[in-house]
Structure 1
Amino acid sequence: MNPVAELRAFVRAALVDPVPRDHTESDAAFRRRRRVAVVTLVVGAGILAWALRIEPGDPTFYVATFALAAVWAVGAFASGPLHLGRAHRRVGGRESRAVVQSLALGLLLLALFLAGSVVVARVPVLRDPVQQLLDHARFGSLGVVAVITVVNGVAEELYFRGALYAGVGRRHAVAVTTLVYALVTATSGIPLLVLAAALVGLVVGLQRRVTGGILGPVVTHLTWSLGMLLLLPPVLDRLS
């Protein structure tokens, strides 16, 4: 199989063709999930807006971001059952957990964003807000920020591709969760972060539709976000 056909097959398996499953729930459970998801969204958006406006080096940032992760996670589990999901296997047969595909998608997203940083590094109006956000790792503890990145990445997927996705309904779940994720991120006031949320949100939303669970989105999100945390600062510094 040639590389183009191989890539096409990968995209179809990872982002297009859903894996069969039955996650049907009662109308009462569905309405309850929606109520919990809305309350969680309002509280989480407020905490995120506060956290992203804390000055780099201020230990309050750690408190705020862990609090945000707790809100997303508690709201997700309180909304109802969450599923890990399953992915198509490359060789056919019974489906497997969505790990390898998700790592590949995360690395592709990381490569795309690092390539884009070549442009961002040369445009101060785009570069400076991103640098300010990354200053939390420069002026604080990189290890703690990495832990925060992991914890919040998992919590965001539990909520946005878990509780919220299930609460929206099947027909428009990818579009709605991607839009809401981008709008919540817009409270940061950083345009490129909103763009990143929209692109990553779309990819993991499609993964959620295909796999029926949160494992794939979690792996993709963490691969991308940790890679950006560790690789983007030196790339911007070298190109600026």
Structure 2
Amino acid sequence: MARFTDRSAIVTGAAQGIGEVYARALAAEGAKVVVADLNIERGEEVAKQITADGGTAAFCRVDVADPESAAALAEFTVAQFGGIDHLVNNAAIYGEMKLDLLLTVPWDYYKKFMGVNLDGALNVTRAVWQQMAAGGGGSIVNQSSTAAWVYSGFYGLAKVGINGLTQQLAVELGGSKIRVNAIAPGPIDTEATLNVTPGSIVKDMVSRLPIKRMGTPQDLVGACLYLLSDDASWVTGHILNVDGGQIIR
């Protein structure tokens, strides 16, 4: 399939993990991909490998918590590929996340965390939407989590915010022919998850899943590409669980 031929797509947090898999999958279906990340070395490697594999990609450093950096990302994408058609707001503080309670987490850390994990998605969306609209519309996928529906401290709170942001932006941007949806993964087998979550807790989570295994980044690709593509042309404001049945609503 080549659902994204001649279209550009920004994937934030694409230097590794789930974001890297999204970027590679979009390129494999014809998209011109901007690999956006703070990690210059790894981000450039991902973009070079996509190009070596026959795709089209360029790296751009971005700090999603900084509106000026987000604006520069949009400008880079337009200069590189002529416009902006798709955005995946995947960047987050996760793999090196501090574990603490909402009641006790240091305020400076909490604000930094929310600046990336919640405000970052809004910053980048604000930076790109006018270019999307000028090109006739587009689509955005935000990375949520099933943590939004279970106790997960400030991480869960950020994902509750992502869900609300998705729904509110879907309304605000619908008139510009821009769709906004989110994916809510369950426990995913990544280096970041293993760094954050103790093995005993992971084992317990998996034992409670109807499909008794951890997910993989590849399990999320189909949902992401569907929501970005014209196949989902009448889908917006939706949070799609990809979670092995963890959350039943």
TM score, norm. by length of structure 2: 0.32
Q: Greater helix percent: which structure?
A: 1
Q: Which has the higher contact order (CA 8 A, sep 6+)?
A: 1
- Which has the higher Rg, Structure 1 or Structure 2? 1
Q: Greater strand percent: which structure?
A: 2
